[in-house]
Amino acid sequence: MKHVKAIIIMIAGVAFLNGCATTKEEQNVSGTLKEGIVTVTATVKAVDMKTRHVMLQRDDGKMVKIYADENVRNLAQVKAGDHVKVVYYESLAYEVKKPGTSTPGVAVTEGIARAKPGEKPGGAAVKTLTITATIAAIDKDAMTVTLRDPEGEMTTVKARDPKKLDRVSVGDLVDVTYTEAVAIAVETPK
């Protein structure tokens, strides 16, 4: 967890100093650093109820064997020929806030939903990790900002756009939010 936080803080530090799309009149510097959706589809080729293995054929023709653990409801309803659709979403966003509007720390939220008994298997899960770091130092000559994470560790990042340094101050807080979500659905072809 410690290494993940350091990487997220470093990425956010570089990006918030590079890619801000806000105007000078706006109080907070914020934006999305990375965002993407990947959709994968496959066709069920076989289901082994004893071992709970499902053989899938991807759209590119490759075969993939997956294990559906006991949390997968209604596996018995999955038949050869059914279509499986997996959607994966990931984003990394940031917001710089003035002191007193937030507190350094780490917050994790999670949610999960799955098919009801009797429905085709499927479900969704989302996890959000927000780290609030403090701007500990700004060096305009070197074009760097040093961020202090909630545990006191320092990370220095280089700004590619020196104008961004005029919009932040020592003591400002940086909320970095990483979100990932996945949704899986099994459908009988029409």
- Cβ-proximal residues to 76 (8 Å cutoff; 6+ apart), any chain: 49
Mean pLDDT of 58-75: 92
Tokens of residue 20, six digits: 């801000």
**Cβ atoms 146, 159 nearer than 8 A:** no
pLDDT of residue 58: 94
Identify residue 55 by its one-letter amino acid code.
M
**Cβ atoms 178, 128 nearer than 8 A:** yes
For residue 148, pLDDT over 90 is answered with: yes
Range from 9-18, 46-55, 81-90, 165-174 carrying the lowest mean pLDDT: 9-18
Cα separations (Å) of 169 from 47, 72, 99, 137, 156? 58, 49, 10, 8, 15
**Cβ atoms 151, 105 nearer than 8 A:** no
The rounded mean pLDDT for the chain is: 84
Range from 10-14, 33-37, 132-136, 162-166 carrying the lowest mean pLDDT: 10-14
Mean pLDDT of 12-39: 60
**Cβ atoms 20, 9 nearer than 8 A:** no
pLDDT of residue 7: 44
pTM to 2 decimal places: 0.71
pLDDT of residue 25: 41
pLDDT of residue 145: 86
Identify residue 90 by its one-letter amino acid code.
E
- Using the structure block, give the residue that is written with the tokens 């007193």: 100
CA gap 10, 28 in Å, rounded: 19
* Confidence at 31, pLDDT banded by 50, 70, 90: low
Tokens of residue 144, six digits: 């760097």
**Cβ atoms 17, 160 nearer than 8 A:** yes
What sign does the CA torsion over 18, 23, 24, 28 have? negative
Closest by CA to 159, choosing from 37, 23, 17, 40, is 17
* Confidence at 32, pLDDT banded by 50, 70, 90: confident
